[in-house]
Amino acid sequence: MITNLFFHGDADGCCAAAIASLDMEDVKLIPVLDAANFKPKIRTGDTIILDLGSQLTPADIRELQKKGNVLVIDHHVSKRLPCPHINPRLSGDKPLPAAFLAYKMVGKKSMAWIGAVGLIGDWGVKLAPTFLKKVRSRWPSLLKHVTQEEIYFEDKIGTMARAIDATVSVHGEKGALYVVKRLQKNIDSPSRFLDDKKLLSSLKRIEKEVAKVLKKVEHHRDKSYVEFSSKLPVKSAVAQKLKAEHKYKTIMVSQKRGRRYRLSLRSDKYDLNGLISHCGRGLDAYGGGHDKAAGASVAASDYKTFKERFLKYE
């Protein structure tokens, strides 16, 4: 029987998929780019869902179970689902990213660097210091620094995470599938993975676009925000860079796509799930994610009100 493996198309999701599917037979990899709006299509066979799940309902799971077994591995804010549901938040543990969870479940020691890339990409340095210490010991050229910002923007393992996100941003679902296959092909040679021309050219293109957007940033008290339009989905990359440059600010990056604004938010001060809920109350808006890093979608007609609430939020 075929296994349908849905995974989030970011560094964490791609790394989790590469680890989980390596030794699987008859697996169909299905990248999901819009995590906030994820509803899996009913397919024949078993289903594994990686780095997704906060939008799923018990009814969604029961529909999937009509076709086969279902397993969910996630770390976002979520209610318990009626299937094997691995999410450390449900037991009050640290919300360790999906790539780390997949590595701990089925990964080989040679795949630890892939788990670390997912961990770094999901801003999880403080969640697994012992694990990262072991990775640093085995691959010292990949991981030299200690803080999240330094690793993400200066170390090779951070470059990998940024290059994965960039490749998905530029090439969409095909980019996500390409990343998974390249990770699996280069398990024993992370340096060869990093030298991939497609990944590096994607990263260069995204960083050029990010630099343009950063020139438009505005500041208001403890908030920094920017609004823009672009053919490339760069809001997350902008948010990461902006947060690194303004550590004590709460960040909102708003990219207009059609009739909606897609938002990336970062904060060390506020619980962003609560902030999004407050700012979107009564509006055509939805979103969520981690306490300190989250995303949202707001109708263009409601964006002005959402933004005003964001700037006044305390």
Cβ–Cβ under 8 Å, residues 280 and 310: no
Q: Higher-confidence residue: 35 or 3?
A: 3
Question: Cα separation of 139 and 125, whole Å?
Answer: 16
Q: CA 69, 13, 245: angle at the middle one, nearest 5?
A: 155
**pLDDT for residue 288 is more than 90:** no
CA 105, 109, 111, 117: dihedral to nearest 10 degrees?
Answer: 90
Give, as one character, the DSSP assignment of residue 80. Answer: P
Q: Higher-confidence residue: 228 or 77?
A: 228
The pLDDT value recorded for residue 37 is 76
Q: On the CB side of 157, how many CA atoms lie within 13 Å of its CA? A: 32
Q: CA 15, 204, 197: angle at the middle one, nearest 5?
A: 65
**Residue 205 burial (C-beta neighbours within 10 Å; 0-12, 13-18, 19+):** middle
Mean pLDDT along residues 227-246: 95
The pLDDT value recorded for residue 281 is 97
Q: In one letter, which amino acid is 181? A: K
Q: In one letter, which amino acid is 15? A: C
- Mean residue pLDDT of the chain comes to 95
The pLDDT value recorded for residue 61 is 94
Residue 78 confidence class, pLDDT cut points 50, 70, 90: confident
Residue 169 confidence class, pLDDT cut points 50, 70, 90: very high
DSSP letters spanning 104-134: HHH--GGGHHHHHHHHHHTT-GGG-HHHHHH
In this structure, the strands spanning 293-299 and 285-289 are antiparallel
Mean pLDDT along residues 130-157: 96
Mean pLDDT along residues 98-102: 98
Q: Which residue ranges form the domains of the chain, and what is each CATH number?
A: 3-197 (no CATH), 216-312 (3.10.310.40)
Mean pLDDT along residues 112-122: 97
Residue 53 confidence class, pLDDT cut points 50, 70, 90: confident
**pLDDT for residue 36 is more than 80:** no
